[in-house]
């Protein structure tokens, strides 16, 4: 009956005048950011976990999506959150990390937490595929996801996402990454990068290259060891939550 999957709904937790905008990843749902949101809300912050267009509904919707739709979803979240607070810290996982950095280049935010963020196309075939994507995706629409890299199997069990990657999405992701790289010089706010050494999708150099390319001086990388790609739900999530919470307090000037 509902369009949005049960458990995959966007969420809003009212709090103080510092807002945290939470952006999930490609084929993911707001659920992957919900525990982080609850932690930040318990810390006193106002939190909005948005739903990207075509996510948490029906996988087929992804075949109609464009990168610009996701940026528009992120801008929507920013405007809605801004109505309830004075300053916004944006945080995202994976493609949500990319979108967070892009938002920081376009609209006034006071900080970015970029988690498990791809800096270059994670699959070397993407560049080639991008060129033929418009034709290819007419016949090849879905591709299986890679092997799971979860450490916390219980959290993995309750994870909610589309089970397949839309092939078109690979092309979109490629475009979004290229666009982010172009926009990085405009990201002049504090950035906290969080990355797991156990991420099977994105090797460590995604984080180190992103770090090097950020123009600001207020930047740091937090490494986690015993988590897979979804650091907001996997074994070391508490370390991630604590770091994100402390980062928000610092950049927003909130008394601890």
Give the interface with other proteins as residue ranges (CB under 8 A): 1-4, 9-14, 48, 50-51, 53-54, 57, 61, 64, 66, 68-69, 72, 75-76, 79-81, 83-84
CB closer to other proteins, 83 vs 157: 83
CB closer to other proteins, 80 vs 156: 80
d(CA 116, CA 17) in angstroms, rounded, equals 27
* Least CB distance to other proteins at residue 172 (A): 13
d(CA 161, CA 232) in angstroms, rounded, equals 14
* Least CB distance to other proteins at residue 149 (A): 30
* Least CB distance to other proteins at residue 73 (A): 9
Nearest alpha-carbon partner for 82 in 10, 12, 8, 180 = 12
d(CA 129, CA 170) in angstroms, rounded, equals 8
CB closer to other proteins, 46 vs 232: 46
d(CA 238, CA 256) in angstroms, rounded, equals 18
d(CA 72, CA 66) in angstroms, rounded, equals 10
* Least CB distance to other proteins at residue 128 (A): 26
CB closer to other proteins, 12 vs 142: 12
Question: Which residues on adjacent β-strands are paired with residue 46?
Answer: 19
Helix (H, G, I), strand (E, B) or coil at 121: coil
Three-state helix/strand/coil letters over 165-201 = EEHHHHHHHHHHHHHHHHHHHHCCCCEEEEEECCCCC
CB closer to other proteins, 64 vs 182: 64
* Least CB distance to other proteins at residue 72 (A): 5
């Amino acid at each position: 009956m509902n369009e949005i999957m049960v458990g995959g709904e966007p969420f809003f937790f009212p709090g103080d005048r510092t807002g945290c905008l939470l952006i999930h990843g490609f084929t993911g749902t707001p659920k992957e950011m919900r525990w982080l949101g609850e932690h930040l809300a318990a810390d006193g912050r106002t939190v909005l976990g948005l739903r990207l267009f075509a996510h948490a509904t029906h996988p087929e919707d992804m075949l109609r999506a464009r990168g610009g739709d996701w940026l528009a979803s992120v801008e929507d979240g920013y405007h809605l959150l801004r109505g309830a607070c004075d300053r916004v810290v944006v945080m995202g996982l994976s493609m949500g990390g990319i979108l967070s950095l892009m938002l920081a280049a376009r609209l006034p935010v006071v900080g970015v937490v970029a988690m498990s963020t791809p800096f270059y196309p994670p699959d070397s075939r993407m560049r080639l595929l991008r060129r033929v994507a418009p034709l290819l995706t007419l016949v090849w629409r879905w591709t299986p996801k890679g092997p799971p890299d979860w450490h916390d199997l219980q959290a993995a069990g309750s994870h909610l996402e589309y089970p397949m990657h839309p092939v078109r999405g690979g092309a979109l992701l490629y475009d979004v990454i290229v666009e982010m790289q172009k926009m990085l010089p405009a990201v002049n706010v504090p950035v906290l990068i969080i990355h797991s050494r156990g991420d099977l999708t994105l090797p460590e150099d995604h984080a180190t290259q992103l770090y090097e390319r950020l123009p600001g001086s207020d930047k740091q990388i937090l490494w986690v060891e015993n988590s897979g790609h979804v650091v907001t739900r996997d074994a070391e999530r508490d370390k991630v939550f604590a770091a994100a919470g402390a980062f928000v307090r610092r950049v927003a000037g909130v008394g601890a």
